[in-house]
Structure 1
Amino acid sequence: MKRRTLLATGASAAVAAAMGMPVRAEGHEPLKVGFIYIGPVGDGGWTYQHDQGRLAVEEHFGDAVETIYQENVPESADAERAITQMVLSGADLIFTTSFGYMDATNTVAGKFPDVKFEHATGYRRDHPNVSTYDARFYEGRAVIGHIAGKMTKTNKIGYIASFPIPEVIQGINSSFLHAKKVNPDVEMVVIWAYTWFDPAKEADAAKAMIEQGVDVILQHTDSTAPQAAAAEAGNVFTFGQASDMAAFKPSPRIASIIDNWNPYYIKRVQDVIDGTWESGHSWGGMAEGEVVIGEITDAVPADVKAEAEAMIAAITAGEYHPFTGPINKQDGTPFLAEGEVATDLQLVQMDFYLEGMLGDIPS
């Protein structure tokens, strides 16, 4: 969907400003904002939720902004071509919404210094016109790990992982740590899918886990295929990933981690309009409203739901950090001492499993 040019002049502009509506200066075209997506907007997960953020930008700014997007852009040379084409189409601000776009984003940014670039989940800002942003997904993983540990009857929970990068490893460790706290007998089966979105691979991973006795499945992949596989198997619980995946409520989907990008996207677009945009890094979580736990359904016992809600409240208030010691690494060496809280640097460099996890992280 594209927005028409806003022609706010004279009294109409004054009225709009008085009402707090965003306006562009007289004679200016709308700010053109582009989004590069790893999957289809209908994936029901990661890309879907980013596109909800794009739509929120349209709703908030009206005709002061025009948005464009390209979906299904591979994390390859195709990304550089797609980003470049978006610049040439007139984009003023571009959000590249997958980790694997990091190199391409910085390469294109170096060629077009007047365009602003925002890269999701990355860490490189090679140029002053590049910013990075992420969400503290590990906070949500702690909550659903707690629920998973309480809900499993086989003491086997599964995790469908995408790629062995710190963001994903954080999620695995946070989920396992909090499942283990409430169920010392729990084991976690991890299957690496090496994809963000591939319904066939995700379904195969879920079925393989179920065959191994897993009865609660978590995922860091984007499709609803694991939900469908669990529904077909019966007596298996799942959690929505990135979006609510509400079609599978009340079971097998018993809760969800929702990535709410709306506040960040609206803020950064406003910064460009105001001329206050600066390069930096943002890492918001529950406190900022960027990580949300979706409805915990009645399939979860009331006491477990209350415990999960108490954890959400504590994390949101800054009273509890999911990585608080004592915590050991998988090999038994200390990671965090009693009461010690992981630093952001420790988290973004996480490349190890925690004590009790089985198997190895692929290199």
Structure 2
Amino acid sequence: MTIGSSSLKRRTVIRGLLAAGAFGATSRFWTGCTPAPPQTQTAPSATAVKTLTIGYIYVGPKDDYGYNQSHAEGEAAVAKVSGVKTVDQASVPETVEVQEVMRNMIKENGVQVLFPASYGYYDPHILKMAVEFPEVQFFHPGALYKEGVHPKNVGSYLGYLLEPAYIAGIVAAYTSKTGKLGYVVPKPIPIVIREVNAFALGARSVKPDLKVQAIFTGDWSLPVKEAEATNSLIDQGADVIISRVDNLKVVITTAEKRGVFSCGYHIDQSSLAPKGYLTGVEWNWAKIYTNYAELISAGKTLMNGGIPHVIRGGLKEEYCKNSPYGPAVSETAKKAADEAKAKFLGGSLVIFKGELKDNKGKVVIPAGKQYTLQDPQLETIDWLVEGVLGDPKNT
């Protein structure tokens, strides 16, 4: 989370005001200080239609080589849709400040649809604003929407990264010589933990005795801790590093300097590690966001039932993908990874199926039971699978 630049802007504004003597379920569709003015992108309009104004809010900078940049790339794709205008605000903390940003976008910019893109924006901030502005639609990535409890103008969407994470695990296992992989993990929440598990299960499908050492930093963006964690994992023998933090630049460049391999996340980060980058786990927000824009432009809404309140998808729905293979990936690894992808697309490969034990030896999925990609049980996973060394409860 980048707060410093935002705070600096606010202090500058306040000093200026004082100087002047003033202070002022599932589907396959697909208050704080006054912030700086949102940035605007306008798509060229091919036909004379009413403009749809969509707002995007990011917890970090839009060029963070990671999570926020992936959403910004999705926003850029939406801005090309005829009749659509976007406004955005970056580096907004997961506090009441985001409520003020949403309120300003609605009142000052005429935003009809909002995509506040960080985990901590949902409860209570989006839920509170949705009640205050019942005519505005609010969409959140990964929220646990509760029918009949949460406002009807709130929706939840997500590209499940489980499948590309599993494939990255396969590539990492074939590449590793030590049998030890390292994972730098941010917050210990279900959406993150299940992806750590998917990566580990993919790797252990190749080498059943392989270990994944996980270090939890405790937040989305803590560069110093991320560098320390990466070096610690390498010192412990990990020769492939992956991370799920917002900005992977520190993790990947540290791995490259140490001469070990890396897998990326959120976007293609191969430019940061031309020698050691193997593949990456990427979102495809452009697909999801353009689908929403087209549906809403056609008059469909959450409130009239034209848009489902929960939208999820994986590789088949093109909501996610893997980065291209790097030069260090063997032909054997590519073949195995491509075969797994084909099985995912065909529906014959299920990641979470029994019998499956957690890393404490407890059976968490019994024999004969499985959780498919659309299963709501995936939304609540709080355990690490066998072979992952680490404890999400001790960060």
For the pair 1:105 / 2:126, whether they are aligned, the reply is yes
Question: 2:58–2:91: 8 Å Cα contact kept in structure 1?
Answer: yes
Q: Would you say the 8 A contact 1:46–1:243 is kept in 2?
A: yes
Residue 50 of structure 1 aligns with which residue?
Answer: 71
Give the deviation of 1:157 after TM superposition.
Answer: 0.7
1:75 aligns with 2:94: yes
Residue number among 362, 370, 373 corresponding to 1:333 in the alignment: 362
Which residue, 128, 138, 152 being the options, matches 2:162? 138
Task: Give the counterpart letter for 1:95 in structure 2.
Answer: F
Q: Is the 8 A contact 1:250 1:299 kept in 2?
A: no
Q: Residue 2 in 1 paired to residue 41 in 2?
A: yes
Please tell me whether the aligned partners of residues 33 and 67 of structure 1 are also in contact (alpha carbons under 8 angstroms).
yes
Gaps of 5+ in 1: 9-15, 17-22
CA distance in 2, matches of 1:123, 1:324: 22
Q: Which residue of 1 aligns with 2:253?
A: 228
Residues 98, 121 of structure 1: 8 Å contact kept = no
**TM-score normalised by structure 1 residue count:** 0.89
How far did 1:244 drift? 0.5
The question of 1:169 aligning with 2:193 is answered yes
Percent sequence identity is 30
Give 1:32's aligned residue. Answer: 53
On the 8 A contact 1:260/1:292 being kept in 2, the answer is yes
The answer for the alignment partner of 1:217 in structure 2 is 241
Q: Deviations over 1:4-43 (max 9, x none)?
A: 795x8xxxxxxx4xxxxxx52xxx4x21100011111100
Greater alpha carbon shift after TM alignment, 325-334 vs 277-286: 325-334
**AA of the residue aligned to 1:318:** G
Distance 2:73 2:189 in 1: 25
**Residues of 1 paired with 2:282 and 2:382: CA distance?**
25
**Cα contact 1:268–1:277 (8 A) shared by 2:** no
> Equivalent residue for 2:231?
207
Q: Structure 2 stretches of 5 or more lacking a match?
A: 1-39, 303-307
Amino acid at match of 2:126: T
2:4 is matched with none
- Of the candidates 68, 84, 88, which is equivalent to residue 103 of structure 2? 84
Give the AA of the match of 2:134.
Answer: P
Aligned 8 A contact 1:249 1:297 in 2: no
Letter in 2 for 1:3: T
User: Which amino acid letter does the alignment assign opposite residue 131 of structure 2?
Assistant: G
Report if the CA contact (8 A) 1:161-1:193 is conserved. yes
CA distance in 1, matches of 2:364, 2:179: 25
| Inter-partner Cα distance in structure 1 for 2:153 and 2:177 | 51
Q: Partners of 1:38 and 1:202 in 2: how far apart?
A: 18
- Other structure's SS at 2:392 match: coil
Between the aligned partners of 1:85 and 1:315, the Cα distance in structure 2 is 43
For residues 300 and 192 of structure 1, what CA distance do their matches in structure 2 show?
27
Distance 1:205 1:331 in 2: 23
SS in 2 for 1:148: helix
Tell me if 1:119 matches 2:143: no
> Distance between the aligned counterparts of 1:249 and 1:108, measured in 2?
42
- 2:33 alignment partner in structure 1: none
Q: TM-score, normalised by structure 2?
A: 0.82
1:293 aligns with 2:322: yes
Query: Matched residues in 1 for 2:89 and 2:222: separation?
Result: 18
Residue aligned with 1:182, SS: coil
Query: Are positions 1:280 and 2:305 aligned together?
Result: no
Q: Give, in angstroms, the shift of residue 339 of structure 1.
A: 4.9
Please name the residue that 1:305 is paired with: 334
Distance in 2 (CA, whole Å) between partners of 1:319 and 1:329 is 23
Q: Is residue 347 from structure 1 mapped to residue 378 from structure 2 by the alignment?
A: yes
**Which structure ranks higher in relative contact order (CA pairs < 8 Å, sequence separation ≥ 6)?**
2
